[in-house]
Amino acid sequence: MTGTTGAPLLEVHDLRKEFPIRQGLLRRRVGEVRAVDGVSFHIDRGETLSLVGESGCGKTTTARCILRAITPTAGRIIFRGGDGVAVDVAALPYKHVRPLRREMQMVFQDPYSSLNPRKTLLEIVGEPLLVNRVGTRTQRLERVAELLRLVGLRPEYMRRFPHAFSGGQRQRIGIARALALSPSLVVADEPVSALDVSVQAQILNLLVDLQAELGLTYLFVAHDLSVVKHVSDRVAVMYVGRIVELAPTERLFMQPAHPYTEALLAAVPKPDPRLRGRRLVLEGEVADPANPPAGCAFHPRCPYAVERCRSEAPRLEAFAAGHLVSCHRARELGLRGIGRPS
Amino acid sequence: MDRSAHSLGGEAIATSSPAGTVELDDPAHSEVEERVSVATQWQLMWWRFRRHRLAVTSTAVVGLAYAVVLLAEFLAYASPTASEAQRSLLPPQTIRWFNEGRFAPHVYGLSGRRDPQTFRRVYTPDPDKKIPLRFFAPGFEYHLFGLIPASRHLLGVADGRAEESLFLLGTDEQGRDVWSRLMYATRTSLTIGLAGVALSLVLGVLLGGISGYVGGVTDTVIQRVVEILRSIPTIPLWMGLAAALPQHWSVLQVYLAITVIISLVGWTELARVVRGRFLSLREEEFVTAAELAGCSRTRIIVSHLVPSFLSHIIAATTLAIPAMIISETSLSFLGLGLRPPAISWGVLLQQAQNIQSLAISPWLLIPAVPVIVVIIAFNFMGDGLRDAADPYHMGGLERAPQAPQPSDTPVQSPGAPLVGDAAMGGLERAPQALRRSETPRRSQGTPWSHDADMGGFERAARTDQSAAPVLSVRDLRTYFFAEDGVVKAVDGASFDVHAGRTLGIVGESGCGKSVTARSILRIVERPGRIVSGEIRLRRVGDGGEDDLARLDPQSHDMRRIRGGEIGLVFQEPMSSFSPVHSVGNQIVETMRLHLGLDRPTARARAIDLLRLVGIPRPERRIDEYAFQLSGGLRQRAMIATALCCGPRILIADEPTTALDVTTQAQILALLRELQARERMAIVLITHNLGVVAEMCDEVAIMYLGRVVERGPVDAIFHSPQHPYTRALLRSIPSVHARVRTKLPAITGSLPHPYRRPGGCLFHPRCGEAIRGVCERHEPELQSVATADRTVSCFLHHPVTKP
Amino acid sequence: MLSYIVRRLLLAVLTSWAISVLAFVIIQLPPGDYVTAYIAQMTASGTTVSQELADTLREQYGLNQPLWVQYLRWMKLVLRGEFGMALEWGKPVSAVIADRLWLTMALSIGAIVITWVLALPIGIYSAVRQYSIGDYVATFVGFIGLAVPSFMIALILMYAGFRYFGANIGGLFSDQFVEAPWSLAKVWDLLKHLPLPALILGLAGTAQLIRIMRANLLDELGKPYVMTARARGLSEWRVILKYPVRVALNPFASTVGYLLPYVVSGSIIVSLVLSLPTVGPLLLRALIAQDMFLAGTIVLLLGVLTVLGTLLSDLLLMWIDPRIRSEGKR
């Protein structure tokens, strides 16, 4: 399923991003928000890795660091582009980042603010081509038409403005724009969260189809586990800036190894009234990234926490083949997944 | 599941492209929509502006005024400097239009005689001296537009010496004709306004732009400078500066100097507008998208940012011109601005300073009229431009329900400074990240809280139909009468709510579920109102019913029901609380209103209530404000507010959509617990079918304002009858699905509210539509199988004659 | 909260400093210096001044020093309350300005009070009953206030009063009190005369505030918490007055900061037209006569008083807005 030929397309090592908190008269730095607190993973060519988590977990910040939309505080982001050369995106001076843009692109969450309302579709989808001096005007026109067709819109629409389109259609336009330069990596930041239920399916299908047709690699950021199940090969669960579990999709859902994953799976409402059963509800609030608990960040809410969890932060370690967990008690606990697929 | 390609009257053709993706075809666009879809921002602005009739008229007036600027010499008939002591302070003449029945405009000449007492010549109009008016008459020589020599004027007299006989608006102390001088004054005052604004514009855009785009220290410094400038009283400052202008300077030099002086402070307003726009634009994702596409900074500024604030600048500039004009007029009036021989409105009005002379020659005040008219016109015009400036601020109808994006986490905004000044007035946003995360109380001492209600089957099996519903809605219709048309937000909703049970109302955006909730409580905002239908609430005690649709929304009865018998929980807990009142204040107020409690009792009860909903340390929290609580705690407080008077029905409108999934689970558990304890009926409105499956006993599915299917939750999920329900259930992602499976999606998209399909609302997207039937006739909700299951579909019912 | 106060205080000090620099610039702008003007004045009244005397005076006043030194000297004097001599009057500036300055502030504050009293209810009504007749009338009247410069209104009213009632509506005191020393009766007399000029002065500001209040309130009326309040069964007026009005008041209160300078400005001209014994006519005369110490000091004091007023209004804003009060304290 995952086209693994050779080295991974993207490797992230110990990525960190901190935002300073300033207070008081002189705007003194009183602390920082550790939005991303040591994140490591890799993505192979052609596969989809999803970053899942609740608010404050740092998934969006991670995604934006990878694209260098934000500058990371520390860590390495190794990207192997079209020419096979490995580049550390995090360490690049900003002017060298521009050529890299052709290889990595983003699909945004909000279809209303991610398209400039004052530009036509041709201008929006064609801008990456124009800015990177790809092709002549006629060639660009053709390419835009081709892209629009690819995402399921009629090419005649290219003269229209975004206000003429619905949310789902706008998202298609955003996808077309992301594909303009034929990137190898596409980061999708909650691409369906702002859409209606019936439209979500269309866009998810589109993304899966495009991946197969164009050989794309996806980093999929989402908060909704059910969406994630439909598109991912592997899933990474994040909590307060760290990855707590990383596993192939099926395994994560059926045999989670981290208590937080278990809680998330239990919390997702399932669309089948016969599955009500006993609900396990996690107490407490999502931890504050500006002030994370000592030791394991999850320990105040964890039903299985022991003394060690309060003082010592666990590391992300191999638990089984391809399955990483960050929990002291991973091996002893037998956690519940979601059961057999329907 | 494959989609067969079919066509229904030219609508919703679903074909497959080679990649297997479904190609969409919009329903036929009308001519108007076609034009709108390709309209640039300027066209949209123009269309919006056009509707503002007052603004359009004002623009015409301004245009007229500037025509005067161009044609000043032509419109004047006497040289502005032609003074003659003998003609001093002559009153205005009336134009008489008819002479002995013929159309022959003329004025009376003046004959003077010496007043025997004061020995001064007194001039009075002499009816015997009729001086005919000529149009395009010869007069003093001038250069039209500064280039073309001419000597014709709009008005004049035959002999070409109009200044001796024509005084349409009287003369001033030096005997100069007021009308002619007014024309010249208009030119000066209006152009100085433009010049001053141009300078302010350059300064304002530059400094405001830098401030907004660069941010940081530069921004702070510029902001402070702006604040300082705005705190200084301007007139004394200008007076001081103007008084310092050397006496020997020429008119032009003085003109330019005055322009600079009045722009010195004027740029601050424009800078503020520009900065504001830049700040809000920074949040727009299309700017990030442009960066990621590889745009250089210059391109982003020029190609993306500038067009976005251009229209706002135009509006702000237009509104700045009148201020400039007033400034110059005031300064000149004082004698400190333009000086004679320069002529401006202020200079003309200077002659009116002396109240005694004004009393004798009130016409000296006439130059005030064009000042007032032009300034009002500019203001209306500027207002119209400002309203039209952002033609994209529509939305609302097209947006899907908000995704869970709790707004209290700062980490999600890329690149923007974490904490910064929210507005120039010094209102600073506090660092939200410093909030201590308090955990709601753990019940029963164990980390997991178990559902108070046991087992799934026992709840689902409760089909106690014998009790009458506590609320019955029948064929409710709520329409919004907007300028562009009628939006049928709710167009036939029928359902029942039973005590101790939960009804789920499910649908996508535009289906009318929120409006239904608001209709029940009679808080639908203008221009919407309930058009027909019944909302029958069972009365406590005698078992009779009240039809809420018939009650006056402001009546005592309805208000008693609102909050007292029916509670409402909203989606956005942050904005559902007043930002300036404490949480407890709002709870206490409601309890005192409905239950008549005194303050201490109400407060004690409120604290208990907060504890009940799981808020730790409620005696402290009660005095806190909404922004001090986290998302989950806020929603609990919201629920407490809704429950404080022990209502029989709780309506929860997307109560968990804005929350994290683990918090959502807590809130839903809380609701279940409360329902069991109080035997309360809950109406749960949501778009999330998973939540419905978890929480509800009965479900009503809504589409485009209509309830299309209704029934017990198990039946709806396991044997849905309506094609929409079936398609919807198939298309939702689920954690139980196989990995990486595609979902059968519903074709097409939700139609625009103004373009509702005829016949069955769902037929354009329906895979099972019956040709010839579904597009022509509207189905009704009728029972299927059992009494508690109703469907609105021709697959299950024959067509009844409309 | 403390940091907010300190920040506002610092800004006030900074602004006052900027004003002092501007006032100094104004003093220095006209050609020549104080001594030149003094000599001119002396010469005009017949006395000649020798060059030696002129030089000595210059030395004495430090007028041959570089500008910034002169500025510091002047500031030192100002901070001690010594503002120099008013040439034309032959008296110290402080004696000449004294009363008039307070009257100017009284007039300005009176204008602001009237502005608030008018703008608040009209703005609320306008927003709540949008598009009604009352709304249009209020908007129109508001526009008049906005479009017609206050001095023009003053002029027109003066003219009307004179022409139709034969009365002179200018002045802040009845004849018998003009020169009288201050007493309770005089204060009362002042209060009786204040409303009309204050109204004229405040009209433009009223228009602005009505629009601001209306816009803010319209914004707030659409927000969810208003709907929640209705959903709890409160009566419509209580819903509006207790919640959105209260929230809309915040930006309203902060407008005082910008209103005060505007009103003080306007009072100059209106005072001229209505012949009020305030600082306005004094300033004009001083500028025309190139009596620069008098003029500069007036600008300085007016500015500083305005800044003080703004500071007070900021503190007021802080008091009524819990978001500012609890900054940092969670």
CA geometry: angle C111, C117, C122, nearest 5 deg: 120
Mean pLDDT score across all residues of chain C: 79
**Nearest neighbour of A267 by CB, restricted to B40, B292, B661:** B661
Measured CA distances, C300 to B264, C23, C75, C306 (Å): 18, 6, 11, 10
At B531, is the secondary structure helix, strand, or coil?
Answer: strand
Enumerate residues 81 to 120 of chain C having a beta carbon within 8 A of any beta carbon in chain B.
Answer: none
Task: Give pLDDT, residue B3.
Answer: 33
Q: With a cut of 50, list the residues of chain B below it in pLDDT.
A: 1-25, 27-28, 394-465, 802
Nearest CA in chain C to B621: C330
How close, in Å, is residue A337 to chain C by CA atoms?
Answer: 38
More confident site: A226 or B386: A226
CB contact set of B424 (below 8 Å; sequence gap of 6+): B223, B226, B227, B272
Residue where the block lists tokens 């009176």: C110
**CB under 8 Å to B177, separation ≥6 — which residues?**
B76, B77, B78, B80, B82, B163, B166, B167, B168, B169, B171
Q: What's the gap in Å between the CA of B8 and the closest CA on chain A?
A: 20
**Other C-beta atoms lying within 10 Å of the C-beta of residue A144:** 24
pTM for the structure as a whole:
0.82
Most confident of A60-74, B8-22, C82-96: A60-74
What integer pLDDT is reported at residue B416 of this predicted model? Answer: 26
Q: What is the pLDDT of residue B463?
A: 42
Q: Nearest to residue A284, comparing CAs of A268, A312, A263?
A: A263
Domain positions in chain C are: 2-93, 100-322
Percent of chain A at pLDDT above 70? 96
Percent of chain C residues topping a pLDDT of 70? 90
Helices (H), B456-598: 456-460, 513-520, 556-564, 573-576, 583-595
Q: Are A219 and A63 in contact (CB under 8 A)?
A: yes
| B295/B443 Cα distance (integer angstroms) | 55
The domain ranges of chain B are 76-173, 182-350+367-389, 427-732+743-791
Predicted local distance difference test score (pLDDT) of residue A279: 66
Q: What does CATH list as the number for B427-732+743-791?
A: 3.40.50.300
Chain B CB within 8 Å of residue C264 CB: yes
Q: Are the beta carbons of A43 and A9 closer than 8 angstroms?
A: yes
Residue C103 has pLDDT above 90, yes or no: no
Task: Give the separation between CA B76 and CA B176, rounded to whole angstroms.
Answer: 12
Give the CATH fold of the C100-322 domain.
Answer: MetI-like fold (1.10.3720)
pLDDT of amino acid C68:
80
Question: By the CB < 8 Å criterion, does C1 face chain A?
Answer: no
Mean pLDDT of all residues in A199-212: 92
Give dist(CA C122, CA C214) in Å, integer: 9
**Cβ within 8 Å, pair C231-B235:** no
For B506, counting Cβ atoms within 10 Å of its Cβ (0-12 exposed, 13-18 middle, 19+ buried), the class is: buried
For residues C327 and B186, give the distance between their C-alpha atoms in angstroms, rounded to a whole number. 52
Chain C positions touching B333 (Cβ under 8 A) are 151, 269
Q: What is the 3-state secondary structure (H, E, C) of chain A?
A: CCCCCCCCCEEEEEEEEEEEEEECCCCEEEEEEEEEEEEEEEECCCCEEEEECCCCCCHHHHHHHHCCCCCCCEEEEEEECCCCCEEECCCCCHHHHHHHCCCEEEECCCCCCCCCCCCCHHHHHHHHHHHCCCCCHHHHHHHHHHHHHHCCCCHHHHHCCHHHCCHHHHHHHHHHHHHCCCCCEEEEECCCCCCCHHHHHHHHHHHHHHHHHHCCEEEEEECCHHHHHHHCCEEEEEECCEEEEEEEHHHHHHCCCCHHHHHHHHHCCCCCHHHCCCCEEECCCCCCCCCCCCCCCCHHHCCCCCHHHHHCCCCCEEEECCEEECCCCCCCCCCCCCCCCC
Q: Long-range contacts for B780-787 (Cβ within 8 Å, ≥24 apart)?
A: B781/B492, B781/B494, B781/B707, B781/B708, B781/B710, B784/B721, B787/B465
Residues B404-463 pLDDT 10s: 333 222 222 222 222 222 222 222 222 222 222 333 333 332 233 333 333 332 333 334
Quick one: pLDDT at residue B26?
53
Beta-carbon separation of C7 and A25 below 8 A: yes
Q: What is the pLDDT of residues A266-304, one digit of tens each?
A: 888 888 888 876 667 888 888 888 888 888 999 999 999
d(CA A157, CA A175): 15
- Partner residue opposite C149 with nearest CB, options B237, B326, B554: B326
- C330 in contact with A at a CB cutoff of 8 Å? no
pLDDT at position B542 is 73
- The DSSP element (H or E) to which C63 belongs, if any, is none
The confidence score (pLDDT) of residue A138 equals: 94
Chains that touch A (3 or more CB pairs under 8 A): B, C
pLDDT at B427: 24
What is the fold of B182-350+367-389?
Answer: MetI-like fold (1.10.3720)
Nearest to A106 among B292, B436, B746 (CB): B292
Please list every residue in chain A whose beta carbon sits closer than 8 Å to the beta carbon of residue C3: 23-25
Residues 2-21 of chain C whose Cβ lies under 8 A from any Cβ of chain A: 3, 6-7
Secondary structure (3-state) at B499: coil
Q: What is the ipTM of this complex?
A: 0.89
Is the pLDDT confidence value at C11 over 60? yes
- Tell which residue, B724, B654, B662, has the closest CA to residue B684: B654
d(CA B675, CA B569) in angstroms, rounded, equals 14
Q: What residues contact B166, with CB distance under 8 A and at least 6 apart?
A: B77, B78, B93, B107, B131, B133, B155, B156, B157, B177
b/e sequence B34-48, b meaning 16+ C-beta within 10 Å? eebbebebeebbeeb
Whether omega before B105 lies within 30 degrees of 0, making that bond cis, reads: no
pLDDT at B339: 79
Q: Report chain A residues whose CB lies below 8 A from the CB of B450.
A: 278-281
Distance from CA of C256 to the nearest CA of A (A): 24
pLDDT band at C170 (very low <50, low <70, confident <90, very high): low
CB pairs under 8 A between B and C: 243
Instruction: Calculate the CA A96 to chain-centre distance.
Output: 24
Q: Does B23 touch chain A (CB under 8 A)?
A: yes
| Cα B365 to Cα B131, B338, C192, distances in angstroms | 26, 18, 29
